[in-house]
A and B are shown apart, each in its own frame.
Chain A
Amino acid sequence: MTKLRLMIAAILCAVAPVAAVMAQATATAPAPTREIVEAVVDSEMTIAVPPLATPQPMETAAGNTEMLGRQIAAIIASDLDGSSAFKPVGPSGLRAINMAEVTAPAFGEWAGKNAENLVHGFVRANNDATLTVGCYLYDVSLKSELVRQGFVVGPRDWRRAAHKCADAIYARLSGESPFFDSRIAYIAETGPKGNRVKRLAIMDSDGANHRFITNGQALALTPRFSPDYKSILYLSYLGNRPRIFIYDIAAGKQRLVTESVNQTFSPRWSPDGKSILYSMAIGGNTDIYRISANGGVPQQLTNGPGIETGGSYSPDGTKIVFESDRSGSQQIYVMNADGSSQQRISFGAGSHATPEWSPRGDLIAFTRIGGGQFRVGVFTPAGNSERLLTSNWQDEAPTWSPNGRVIQFFRTAQGSGKTGVWQVDVTGAKERKIATPVDGSDPSWGPLLP
């Protein structure tokens, strides 16, 4: 037994130094640290959009299918170009593809054109006079299909098929929700400065299908599409009295929201379209009210001194953001939908006005006034992380795209007073003017078309 103990002790003595060396070696070989690959986001994704194919050129109510293939591709490219993420190439300058290529692209050829992504599709005339538009998106590098969708539309809606295809591509590559297939209401302005004629007008998100709603005899302001696109809420000076009307687009008729001897203005829909926020001025004091879209007795939500206006619902309808000058200057406040728990959220230099809650709920857009400028910016619903997106003499009245990624506003030129509708990505990139037949102001972006 004693011998056995001695042997074990001897073995341990011999092994200990070896174990120590091994432990030391292990300690000097730590696990690899995580290597970081970091890139500055400053490039747009190149995406090729050749003309869409057609199985057989046919005349339709919307035009020849071969020509439609070219036009739809042009709309897709234009839509994508309007976002901040893409650098579309085509359809002009690119060869037309054949039907076989729609599902079997010549990846090598498109890679040679530096295309990272590729749009293919087709236009087919159906026997019932409708059109089928096929929409495909490919990753050229990986030679993989990313999107495959088809849209059957009436001849009058062929542009919507293009927007829907662009939406599918945009959503797949950006991660965002779609927004191209939507409409915008705005105020069309004509005439000299100081005597402007302001008419209610609507158009597609890319400026197409433009239509004037009112004839300009009464001043129109602050239009808002209803969530179902069936009507427009707006302020009219009909009879030289500022009052809020709901215009039925299909019927071409309008009705008064509420009759009052006081001025009513700044109307906004609730997210469900069942109620309306508006401001009413009584004896120098302006407060925010809510009323059913079908009329009835209004409910007063604010009762502070001064001017409180511009109410905008959070997407879930539980809160309202508004502006108030109760602190001495225009600032932004948030309250519960019933008017309780009012809290100021904008601070810092200048004043803040025209708040608009993002459809995504994460941000509030506003106009910041200060330093001789009106600038459009965003911050969180708590008022944090303020970022100014524009820098011009007078940019104001922001409105969100349906996906909460793009903001439209109107810009007034210094001197001439001419106005135009502009848009900017919420990152501050890709600021551009939206083409309108005449000057434009007070844009209001509707939801995604049903």
Chain B
Amino acid sequence: MDRAEQAGLGVAIIGHVAVFVALSVSLLSKTERATPINPPMAVELIAETAAVSSAPDAVLDASPPPVATEPEVAPLPPIAVVPPPKLKIDRVQPKPKPVAPIQTPKKPIVKPTLPAASKPQSKLNLSMRDLSSAAQQEATRATERAGTGKGQGKSGSGTPAVKTAAEVRRDIRVSLAAEILPYWKRCVPDGVDIALMETQLDLRINPDGSLAGVSNVAQTGVNDSNRAQQQRHKECAIKAAQLASPFKLDPASHDVWKLWPMAFKATERK
């Protein structure tokens, strides 16, 4: 090692020591320093998922969010108790989706710009579309939640937040089952031990909610007594999905519901 190298090595050692000291001082003093972070959000935990998923804005926005003034705050019109409508031929048109026969009076539904806000409208349409009473009640609850602002966050002025995957799935479950059920009920075959049979399939759904097809069709619970209904059971399951589509789904969540596994069952009459 010559003289120059020794000098260089010394400079390097000194430099490293200086850097080490500087970093140590910086780290020790960091815990006490105030940082310009955002204030904590107020989050309300509720038992049920609201029809409109909302949370306070992380960045305050002076303009009111569109969902807060949506017309679905109007009370549910009496269509919720209208008996199941007659089968109409336009229901089988694959597209375009038939316009709901009854509109909310005086307050036309404005299509929300955010996907989360579209759910109440979807459920309102479900009640128009011959749903079971259970589905109607669900739609009523959803609309009431939307109407009262329940679940929209403490601030009440937030824009809808993007739904979690679990929330999207939960809403899809309500939507698809309720939309398919009336068609399944009208077709499902009767027979001994029919309650034991289950047809399972995966719905392949296009981004516009139309049915691209079904796959992975399988059946369980087949025995000597219900084997005669096996083919018809499967046929009716597929038919029910065909007639119920296009489904009212949020295109933004297509990845969540593009392949949707379903099972079809029947309960024997009493």
Binding site for B on A (CB under 8 A): 28-29, 32-43, 45, 84-85, 107-108, 111-112, 114, 116, 139-143, 173-177, 360-363, 405, 426-427, 429
Contacts and interface: CB of A to CB of B under 8 A. Distances in A.
Given A33-B261, A35-B177, A141-B243, A174 B87 contact: no
* Interface SS, A side: loop
B228 A37 contact: no
B225 A111 contact: no
A108 B242 CA distance: 18
A360 B266 CA distance: 22
23 contacts: A35-B172, A37-B177, A37-B180, A37-B263, A38-B264, A38-B265, A41-B188, A41-B266, A41-B267, A85-B190, A112-B86, A116-B187, A141-B89, A142-B239, A142-B243, A174-B232, A175-B230, A176-B228, A176-B229, A362-B192, A362-B224, A363-B192, A427-B191
Contacts of A116: 87, 186-187
Of the candidates B176, B223, B261, the one having the most CB atoms from chain A within 10 angstroms of its own CB is B261
B228 A427 contact: no
Nearest to B232: A175
Given A37-B177, A37-B181, A111-B88, A32 B266 contact: no
Given A32-B260, A36-B177, A108-B89, A177 B228 contact: yes
A38 B190 contact: no
Closest 6 CB pairs of A and B: A111-B89, A39-B185, A175-B232, A362-B224, A38-B265, A34-B261
A48 to B, nearest CB: 12
* Interface SS, B side: helix
A107 B92 CA distance: 11
B87 A85 contact: no
Given A39-B267, A41-B194, A42-B269, A141 B260 contact: no
Interface of B: 86-89, 91-92, 165, 169, 172-173, 176-177, 180-181, 183-192, 194, 200, 223-225, 228-233, 237, 239-240, 242-243, 256-257, 260-269
A141 B184 CA distance: 13
Given A141-B183, A142-B239, 14 more contacts: A35-B263, A38-B264, A38-B267, A39-B184, A112-B86, A116-B186, A116-B187, A141-B87, A141-B91, A174-B190, A175-B229, A362-B192, A363-B192, A405-B228
Contacts of B172: 32, 35
Nearest to B86: A114
